[in-house]
Amino acid sequence: MSEEQKTVNSEQIGRAMQAAWTRVKKSEARLWSEWMTIGEGLLEGRNWAMRTAGVNEPAGRGYVTAYAEWLHKYRVDDMDKSVRAKLLNIMEERAAVEQWRETLPVSERRRLNNPDVVYRKWQAATKVKKPKARPTGEAGRAAAHLEAANERISELEQEVAARAEPLEERVAALTDEEWEELKRVEDGRRFALKAQPKRKRRRTPDDLRAELDARQAATGSEA
Protein backbone atom coordinates (compact mmCIF):
# COMPACT_ATOMS: atom_id res chain seq x y z
CA MET A 1 0.00 0.00 0.00
CA SER A 2 1.41 3.39 -1.00
CA GLU A 3 1.82 6.22 1.49
CA GLU A 4 -1.05 8.09 -0.20
CA GLN A 5 -3.33 5.08 0.16
CA LYS A 6 -2.30 4.69 3.80
CA THR A 7 -3.19 8.33 4.42
CA VAL A 8 -6.61 7.99 2.77
CA ASN A 9 -7.36 4.76 4.65
CA SER A 10 -6.21 6.29 7.92
CA GLU A 11 -8.46 9.30 7.33
CA GLN A 12 -11.47 7.08 6.66
CA ILE A 13 -10.90 5.05 9.82
CA GLY A 14 -10.49 8.23 11.83
CA ARG A 15 -13.70 9.76 10.50
CA ALA A 16 -15.61 6.54 11.21
CA MET A 17 -14.27 6.57 14.77
CA GLN A 18 -15.28 10.20 15.24
CA ALA A 19 -18.83 9.54 13.99
CA ALA A 20 -19.22 6.48 16.23
CA TRP A 21 -17.97 8.35 19.30
CA THR A 22 -20.40 11.19 18.59
CA ARG A 23 -23.28 8.71 18.43
CA VAL A 24 -22.17 7.06 21.67
CA LYS A 25 -22.00 10.40 23.51
CA LYS A 26 -25.45 11.38 22.27
CA SER A 27 -26.77 7.99 23.38
CA GLU A 28 -28.14 7.33 19.90
CA ALA A 29 -26.40 3.98 20.14
CA ARG A 30 -24.09 2.26 22.58
CA LEU A 31 -23.85 -0.97 20.71
CA TRP A 32 -20.82 -3.24 20.70
CA SER A 33 -20.31 -2.55 16.98
CA GLU A 34 -19.97 1.17 17.71
CA TRP A 35 -17.28 0.51 20.31
CA MET A 36 -15.46 -1.75 17.85
CA THR A 37 -15.45 1.05 15.27
CA ILE A 38 -13.99 3.38 17.89
CA GLY A 39 -11.43 0.74 18.84
CA GLU A 40 -10.32 0.36 15.23
CA GLY A 41 -9.80 4.12 15.12
CA LEU A 42 -7.74 4.09 18.30
CA LEU A 43 -5.55 1.29 16.92
CA GLU A 44 -5.06 3.20 13.67
CA GLY A 45 -4.23 6.32 15.67
CA ARG A 46 -1.64 4.43 17.66
CA ASN A 47 -0.04 3.09 14.48
CA TRP A 48 -0.12 6.55 12.89
CA ALA A 49 1.49 8.10 15.97
CA MET A 50 4.29 5.52 15.93
CA ARG A 51 4.95 6.17 12.24
CA THR A 52 4.91 9.91 12.81
CA ALA A 53 7.26 9.67 15.77
CA GLY A 54 9.50 7.14 14.04
CA VAL A 55 9.28 4.59 16.85
CA ASN A 56 8.50 0.89 16.97
CA GLU A 57 6.46 0.90 20.18
CA PRO A 58 3.80 3.20 21.63
CA ALA A 59 6.09 5.08 24.00
CA GLY A 60 8.19 8.21 24.17
CA ARG A 61 7.49 11.93 24.04
CA GLY A 62 7.19 12.03 20.24
CA TYR A 63 4.64 9.22 20.23
CA VAL A 64 2.60 10.74 23.06
CA THR A 65 2.49 14.10 21.28
CA ALA A 66 1.47 12.53 17.96
CA TYR A 67 -1.19 10.34 19.55
CA ALA A 68 -2.67 13.31 21.40
CA GLU A 69 -2.81 15.13 18.05
CA TRP A 70 -4.74 12.20 16.53
CA LEU A 71 -7.23 12.09 19.40
CA HIS A 72 -7.80 15.83 19.16
CA LYS A 73 -8.14 15.81 15.39
CA TYR A 74 -10.99 13.31 15.49
CA ARG A 75 -12.50 14.71 18.70
CA VAL A 76 -12.15 11.64 20.87
CA ASP A 77 -9.79 13.30 23.35
CA ASP A 78 -12.68 13.71 25.79
CA MET A 79 -13.06 9.94 26.17
CA ASP A 80 -12.34 8.62 29.66
CA LYS A 81 -8.73 7.41 29.77
CA SER A 82 -9.64 4.18 31.55
CA VAL A 83 -12.29 3.33 28.94
CA ARG A 84 -9.85 4.16 26.15
CA ALA A 85 -7.12 1.96 27.66
CA LYS A 86 -9.50 -0.97 28.22
CA LEU A 87 -10.85 -0.63 24.69
CA LEU A 88 -7.32 -0.85 23.28
CA ASN A 89 -6.72 -3.93 25.45
CA ILE A 90 -9.88 -5.48 24.02
CA MET A 91 -8.80 -4.71 20.45
CA GLU A 92 -5.49 -6.49 21.07
CA GLU A 93 -7.43 -9.57 22.25
CA ARG A 94 -10.47 -9.01 20.06
CA ALA A 95 -10.81 -12.55 18.72
CA ALA A 96 -10.72 -14.07 22.21
CA VAL A 97 -13.09 -11.46 23.64
CA GLU A 98 -15.55 -11.94 20.78
CA GLN A 99 -15.42 -15.71 21.29
CA TRP A 100 -16.16 -15.27 25.00
CA ARG A 101 -19.05 -12.86 24.29
CA GLU A 102 -20.65 -15.49 22.04
CA THR A 103 -20.98 -17.78 25.09
CA LEU A 104 -23.12 -15.21 26.92
CA PRO A 105 -26.92 -15.10 26.77
CA VAL A 106 -28.25 -12.71 24.12
CA SER A 107 -29.80 -10.42 26.73
CA GLU A 108 -26.47 -10.07 28.55
CA ARG A 109 -24.55 -9.47 25.30
CA ARG A 110 -26.92 -6.65 24.41
CA ARG A 111 -26.45 -5.07 27.82
CA LEU A 112 -22.70 -5.68 28.16
CA ASN A 113 -21.10 -3.02 25.97
CA ASN A 114 -18.96 -0.72 28.12
CA PRO A 115 -15.28 -1.60 27.39
CA ASP A 116 -14.24 -1.13 31.02
CA VAL A 117 -16.81 -3.65 32.26
CA VAL A 118 -16.38 -6.04 29.33
CA TYR A 119 -12.61 -6.27 29.81
CA ARG A 120 -12.88 -6.91 33.56
CA LYS A 121 -15.52 -9.59 33.13
CA TRP A 122 -13.61 -11.25 30.29
CA GLN A 123 -10.45 -11.37 32.38
CA ALA A 124 -12.31 -12.75 35.38
CA ALA A 125 -13.94 -15.44 33.25
CA THR A 126 -10.92 -16.57 31.27
CA LYS A 127 -7.69 -15.88 33.15
CA VAL A 128 -5.85 -18.94 34.42
CA LYS A 129 -4.92 -18.70 38.08
CA LYS A 130 -1.52 -20.03 39.09
CA PRO A 131 -1.57 -22.33 42.10
CA LYS A 132 -0.07 -20.74 45.18
CA ALA A 133 1.89 -22.39 47.93
CA ARG A 134 -0.46 -22.38 50.91
CA PRO A 135 0.51 -22.39 54.56
CA THR A 136 -0.67 -25.39 56.56
CA GLY A 137 -2.73 -25.71 59.70
CA GLU A 138 -4.84 -22.87 61.09
CA ALA A 139 -2.98 -20.27 59.04
CA GLY A 140 -3.71 -22.20 55.85
CA ARG A 141 -7.43 -22.40 56.58
CA ALA A 142 -7.54 -18.68 57.37
CA ALA A 143 -5.69 -17.84 54.14
CA ALA A 144 -8.04 -20.01 52.07
CA HIS A 145 -11.08 -18.39 53.69
CA LEU A 146 -9.70 -14.90 53.01
CA GLU A 147 -8.94 -15.72 49.38
CA ALA A 148 -12.43 -17.12 48.82
CA ALA A 149 -13.96 -14.03 50.41
CA ASN A 150 -11.87 -11.69 48.23
CA GLU A 151 -12.87 -13.60 45.09
CA ARG A 152 -16.54 -13.34 46.03
CA ILE A 153 -16.19 -9.61 46.67
CA SER A 154 -14.58 -9.19 43.24
CA GLU A 155 -17.43 -11.13 41.60
CA LEU A 156 -20.05 -8.98 43.33
CA GLU A 157 -18.27 -5.78 42.34
CA GLN A 158 -18.27 -6.87 38.72
CA GLU A 159 -21.96 -7.80 38.86
CA VAL A 160 -22.82 -4.40 40.33
CA ALA A 161 -20.74 -2.63 37.68
CA ALA A 162 -22.46 -4.57 34.92
CA ARG A 163 -25.96 -3.91 36.25
CA ALA A 164 -25.53 -0.28 37.29
CA GLU A 165 -25.72 1.05 33.76
CA PRO A 166 -26.89 4.62 33.22
CA LEU A 167 -30.47 4.97 32.03
CA GLU A 168 -29.33 6.25 28.63
CA GLU A 169 -27.31 3.06 28.04
CA ARG A 170 -30.30 0.86 28.80
CA VAL A 171 -32.50 2.96 26.50
CA ALA A 172 -29.85 2.77 23.76
CA ALA A 173 -29.89 -1.03 24.02
CA LEU A 174 -33.60 -1.22 23.14
CA THR A 175 -34.51 -2.88 19.86
CA ASP A 176 -36.43 -0.90 17.23
CA GLU A 177 -39.65 -2.73 18.20
CA GLU A 178 -39.14 -2.02 21.92
CA TRP A 179 -38.35 1.63 21.16
CA GLU A 180 -41.50 2.05 19.06
CA GLU A 181 -43.59 0.42 21.78
CA LEU A 182 -42.08 2.74 24.38
CA LYS A 183 -42.88 5.76 22.22
CA ARG A 184 -46.49 4.57 21.72
CA VAL A 185 -46.99 4.14 25.46
CA GLU A 186 -45.48 7.56 26.20
CA ASP A 187 -47.55 9.28 23.49
CA GLY A 188 -50.70 7.63 24.88
CA ARG A 189 -49.86 8.79 28.40
CA ARG A 190 -49.31 12.38 27.26
CA PHE A 191 -52.56 12.38 25.27
CA ALA A 192 -54.49 11.08 28.29
CA LEU A 193 -53.02 13.79 30.51
CA LYS A 194 -53.97 16.51 28.04
CA ALA A 195 -57.52 15.14 27.74
CA GLN A 196 -58.14 15.25 31.48
CA PRO A 197 -59.95 18.36 32.75
CA LYS A 198 -57.89 20.57 34.98
CA ARG A 199 -58.73 19.94 38.60
CA LYS A 200 -59.30 22.73 41.03
CA ARG A 201 -56.70 22.78 43.72
CA ARG A 202 -57.98 21.59 47.06
CA ARG A 203 -57.92 24.05 49.90
CA THR A 204 -55.36 23.28 52.55
CA PRO A 205 -55.72 23.91 56.32
CA ASP A 206 -53.59 27.01 55.85
CA ASP A 207 -56.05 28.28 53.23
CA LEU A 208 -58.97 27.76 55.62
CA ARG A 209 -57.12 29.49 58.45
CA ALA A 210 -56.35 32.46 56.19
CA GLU A 211 -60.01 32.74 55.15
CA LEU A 212 -61.17 32.57 58.79
CA ASP A 213 -58.70 35.24 59.85
CA ALA A 214 -59.86 37.46 56.98
CA ARG A 215 -63.52 37.08 58.00
CA GLN A 216 -62.75 37.82 61.62
CA ALA A 217 -60.79 40.88 60.64
CA ALA A 218 -63.64 42.09 58.43
CA THR A 219 -66.18 41.55 61.26
CA GLY A 220 -64.01 43.45 63.72
CA SER A 221 -63.62 46.42 61.38
CA GLU A 222 -67.39 46.64 60.85
CA ALA A 223 -67.96 46.70 64.61
Contacts for 38 with CB less than 8 Å, ≥ 6 apart: 17, 20, 21, 24, 76, 79, 87
What is the Cα–Cα distance from 2 to 8, expressed in whole angstroms?
10
Predicted TM-score (pTM) of the model is 0.54
How confident is residue 157, by pLDDT bands cut at 50, 70 and 90?
low
Q: What is the pLDDT of residue 49?
A: 93
Residue 172 lies inside a defined structural domain of this protein: no
Specify if 221 maps to a domain: no
Residue 30 domain flag: yes
For residue 89, the model assigns a pLDDT of 94
Average pLDDT over residues 154-165: 55
Q: For the chain, what is the domain count? A: 1
Task: For residue 19, count CB atoms less than 10 angstroms from its CB and return exposed for 0-12, middle for 13-18, buried for 19 or more.
Answer: middle
10 in a structural domain = yes
Instruction: Tell me if 63 is assigned to some domain.
Output: yes
Residues 6+ apart with CB under 8 A from 65: 53
The answer as to whether 93 is a domain residue is yes
pLDDT digits (tens, 9 = 90+) for 50-97: 999 999 999 999 999 999 999 999 999 998 888 899 999 999 999 999
Query: CA 135, 136, 137 angle in degrees (round to 5)?
Result: 135
Q: Which domain holds residue 78?
A: 1-130
Q: What is the pLDDT of residue 29?
A: 47
Question: Using the 8-state DSSP alphabet, how is residue 198 labeled?
Answer: P
| C-alpha distances in Å from residue 16, one per residue of 3, 32, 67, 157 | 20, 15, 17, 34
Backbone dihedral angles phi then psi of residue 93, each to the nearest 5 degrees = -115, 30
